[in-house]
Amino acid sequence: MSNDRLTLAAVLAFIHAVLSRFFVSFTAEITQPSTGPLLIAALLAMVNFAIFLFLFITFKRLLNERYDFIQADRPILALIGLGALGVIFILLPVTGLGYSLFSLVSRGFGVVSGLLWIWLALLLLKLPAGRIKWLKPYAFVVAAAGIGYASIVLTTLAVILSMIADILLGVIFIQETGKPEPGKIEV
C-alpha cells in the first residue's frame, strides 16, 4: 500500500471526524421533515459514507497487507454494508414512509452498529501488541463508542468518541506512512 494512500486516508480521517459530527447535528435538528433538508441530509450521508468507505477499505488493506491480519475483515465489511444501508434509509421520510419509521430504523441501526464496533474492537485487540502503536487506544475508544451507540441513550457520547476514534485512525495512518511496505528492503 502506497504512502500516498495512507496520507490521503489520514487527511480524510480528520475530515471525517468533523464532517460526521456536522452530519449528526444537522439530522438531529430536522424537526419538520421536508424535502429540502432531508435531501441535504442524504447528500451529507453519501459524502460521509464515501469517506468512511475509503477509510475502512484502506484500514482493512493495511491490516491485511502489512500485518497479515484478516480477522477484522468481517466486522469492517459489515460496518461498510450497514453504512450503505444507512444512506438508503436516510431517504425514508422523503418517500413518504414517515419520520417515525425513520426514527425507529435509526435506533435499530444504532444498536447494530454499536455491536459491530464492539466486535471490531475486540478483534483489533488480538493483533500482537506493539505492531501498530495507537491500535490499542483506538480499539478501546471504538469499543466505548460501540457501547454508547448500542445503548441508544449514550449516543451523544458515542458520537464524540467516534470523532476521537477518527482522529486516532488518522494518527495510525500517518505513522504507517513511515514504515516500509512488506517485501521491500530499505537501502
Tell me the C-alpha to C-alpha distance, in Å, between residue 75 and each of 25, 85, 185.
26, 15, 32
DSSP 30: -
Q: What is the mean pLDDT of the chain?
A: 86
**pLDDT single digits (tens) 122-161:** 999 998 877 888 999 999 999 999 999 999 899 889 989 9
Q: Is the dihedral of CA 51, 54, 56, 59 positive or negative?
A: negative
Reply yes or no on whether the pLDDT at 166 is more than 90: yes
Q: How far is 114 from 149, CA to CA, in rounded Å? A: 5
The whole-model pTM stands at 0.86
> In degrees, to the nearest 5, what angle opens at C-alpha 84 toward C-alphas 79 and 88?
140
Reply yes or no on whether the pLDDT at 186 is more than 50: no
Reply yes or no on whether the pLDDT at 172 is more than 60: yes
Q: How far is 147 from 26, CA to CA, in rounded Å? A: 23
DSSP 128: P
pLDDT recorded at residue 182: 61
**pLDDT single digits (tens) 86-134:** 887 776 665 666 666 667 777 888 899 999 999 999 999 998 877 888 9
Q: How far is 64 from 155, CA to CA, in rounded Å? A: 31
Q: What is the mean pLDDT of residues 165-182?
A: 88
Q: Where are the alpha helices (DSSP H) in 29-181?
A: 35-67, 73-89, 99-124, 135-151, 155-177
The percentage of residues in the chain with a pLDDT greater than 90, rounded to a whole number, is 56
